Structure 1
């Protein structure tokens, strides 16, 4: 729904049809066809009135676009009867970048503030969202351009526009999310493109949970280590280092004293810290569950405390002759050195050999087993 001051672009205009084509192309590229995620675009295209902004996507599903920085550049390229200069081609690419970026934002469902385990849209969430949207845009921009230029009458400038390099306008965000998505892919068995798509299409308030669920499922849930009832608490423990590491990037992005390379370095460092924190927590949690599960299924005789008692008994039964004699002197109940060791309730019945009196004290060790009552 538009405000009174909003200027709506007519649905019959060329500009409107171009935006609709980009939105549809992004939906197809992200959603992958029938059954996949769908855009929440409400069909409204507004003229961006803030001279400092080139476009935006809003909670009501509308999209705003700068006439000067986007529509005018694209219209001029359409009508030009000569080849574009490199700079003109780059301006057209930048205009398409804006449309694609805002259309990608509309692939996320509307934020549900009432859902359990919802996180605020704070500085860390901004980096996690904007960086990923920019990352997806840069990865897919060439395909979107090819999808829409012919029908928009821009096919004669397509090659020149595709030849231009990308310019990352969010250097404090994009490298961080790119690095994080790759790390999540390595820890979940998915590709980085699959991780990026899942998180791009996640509710802003649940995106952190969706991210760590990829790791939880692979390392804790599928192996049967973690009870499902523990998921919410484990999520909180794994999300915490991610949010903490990315929380300072909004200030880095806004710092005009830093160049793009410096901002990119800060983003990479933040992502590395986030991954290190995630790994530390995951290893701690996984170790805890493995120990607890082993203790539940381990026989009493194999538990650490039982093995300790067994070791003590084994040592007592294998004393050296000197220690055995010392034990006999200090403990009247202890058997004399050299005496055969008998289990309680077991009697040796084997007779001494009649032909070897010197071995009359030696007896055959009885086989373990129940002692029949009445015998002996």
Structure 2
């Protein structure tokens, strides 16, 4: 934007329409339930003066909207006394898409970028955020239109607008995030819609951690498996393949020489690489903890003072009288007084030609060896 900031008057119809969309998005994103997420909108609606943008969500909580491409079209449709053409209806749907998308961005707080485990809002984070916000918008746009059109005086054009198809504003980001959210859902026991909503409303600085926490809590947080003190390090190992795979998508999205299908293919491929890397790390980490825990349990069972050994001694002490007598008769007897001591293993005759008894292999010490793991618009 330029330095000339123009605010839409709060008493205007346009302002009330934007406010209605912001409120509807908050409700649809879970803000209607106790403790649910809340919009960070500061109550200001600005004219979008950047010619490259039709709308934007600002760090201070303001929302900026193109007057000509968004607000004017909606106001003109309100006053129209004839049916909309298909082109007009599509442009109205696109205008509502813009309002909904920017209002959805305001459901996430920026977070403290200097906090422990915070991640910057870089190219990978932008792809992860924009793709998800667009995905949520497409999934909820019809409901937002129904929520606000009647009170805004747009009920007569509602059916025509709802009949129009939608087009993803981010041809590469959207399919990538769609595949990733589905993968996280499958590994966390949630639905894809739940994952999308949780991550859309997560702080920008912690969104990666929130995503992998969903899988950690499902796969690694069972009692006694992963120590909670290890969570920060495990997060890093799981986040790394996600960020690496998405880091190049911004260049793909901006490449005007690529068609939408080519961008979608690149986004899908990036997601598949991210999922493969995620599974490799998740399986390796889980396997390591399970093997380590099994080895500790075995070592504990072999200790003289362990509960397993104590239980064995207690069981022997509770033998029936007949078995106790039999055990006493078969137990090694102490030598009689004055008897000559013989070295252990000494015999009264030479070893037979068959050898000195059965021989076998002894298990080596230790166990399996483990390898070491190496402005938003």
TM-score range normalised by the length of the shorter chain: 0.7 to 0.9
Point out where structure 2 has 5 or more consecutive residues left out of the alignment: 304-344, 359-377
Number of residue pairs matched by the alignment: 314
Trace 1:113-192 onto structure 2 (pairs within 5 A). Answer: 113-192=113-192
Query: Deviation string for 1:324-375 (max 9, x for gaps)?
Result: xxxxxxx998942579969xxxxxxxxxxxxxxxxxxxxxxxxxxxxxxxxx
- 2:352 equivalent among 331, 336, 340: 336
Unaligned segments of structure 1, at least 5 residues: 304-330, 343-376
Partner of 2:44: 44
1:112 offset after TM fit, Å?
A: 1.1
1:12 aligns with: 11
Mapped contact 2:219–2:286 kept (Cα < 8 A) = yes
CA separation of 1:97/1:341 partners in 2, compared to 1, >3 Å: closer, same or farther?
Answer: same
Distance 1:264 1:237 in 2: 27
User: Which residue in the other structure is 2:307 paired with?
Assistant: none
Distance apart, 1:51 and its partner CA: 1.8
CA distance in 2: counterparts of 1:276 and 1:32, whole angstroms:
34
Aligned-partner SS, 1:206: helix
- 1:111 is displaced (CA, Å) by 2.3
Whether contact under 8 Å (2:212, 2:235) holds in the other structure is: yes
Show the counterpart of 2:108.
108
- For 1:263, the equivalent position in structure 2 comes to 263
Which moves more between the two structures, 136-145 or 108-117? 108-117
For the residue of structure 2 that corresponds to 1:59, the secondary structure is: coil
CA distance in 1, matches of 2:353, 2:69: 100
Give deviations 1:156-210, integer Å, cap 9, x for gaps.
0000000000011101100000110000000000000110011001111100000
Cα distance in 2 between the residues matched to 1:138 and 1:193: 12
Cα deviations by residue, 1:46-81 (Å, 9 ceiling, x for unpaired): 001112210100110000000011001101111100
Partner-residue secondary structure (3-state), 1:214:
helix
2:212 is aligned to 212
Q: 1:56 corresponds to which residue?
A: 56
Distance apart, 1:225 and its partner CA:
1.2
Q: Which runs of 4+ in 1 moved over 3 A?
A: 299-303, 331-335, 337-342
Distance 1:339 1:127, change over 3 A: closer
Structure 2: distance between partners of 1:124 and 1:59 = 19
The CA distance in 1 between the partners of 2:56 and 2:79, in whole Å, is 26
SS in structure 2 at match of 1:285: helix
Question: How far apart, in 2, do the equivalents of 1:85 and 1:111 lie?
Answer: 44
Which is greater in Rg?
A: 1
Larger relative contact order, structure 1 or 2 (CA cutoff 8 Å, min sep 6): 2
Deviates more, 1:260-269 or 1:108-117: 108-117
CA distance in 1, matches of 2:14, 2:353: 103
SS in 1 for 2:56: strand
Q: Residue 34 of structure 1: CA displacement?
A: 3.0
Counterpart of 1:297 in structure 2 is 297
SS of structure 1 residue aligned to 2:220: helix
Tell me the CA shift for residue 33 of structure 1: 1.0
Matched residues in 2 for 1:184 and 1:226: separation?
A: 19
Counterpart of 2:64 in 1: which secondary structure? strand
| 1:84-106 Cα shifts (integer Å, max 9, x gaps) | 00000000000000000000000
1:300/1:108 Cα in 2 relative to 1: closer, same or farther (>3 Å)? closer
SS in 1 for 2:82: coil
1:243 match? 243
Rounded to whole Å, the distance in 1 between the matches of 2:6 and 2:172 is 32
When residues 3 and 61 of structure 1 are mapped into structure 2, their CA distance, relative to the original with a 3 A threshold, is farther
Cα deviation, residue 32, structure 1:
4.4
Residues 1:27 and 2:26 aligned together: yes
Distance across 1 between alignment mates of 2:232 and 2:165: 43
Q: Distance in 1 between matches of 2:240 and 2:180?
A: 14
1:219, CA displacement in angstroms? 0.5
* Separation of aligned partners in 2, 1:222 and 1:121: 32
C-alpha change, 1:4 and 1:275, in structure 2 (3 Å) is closer
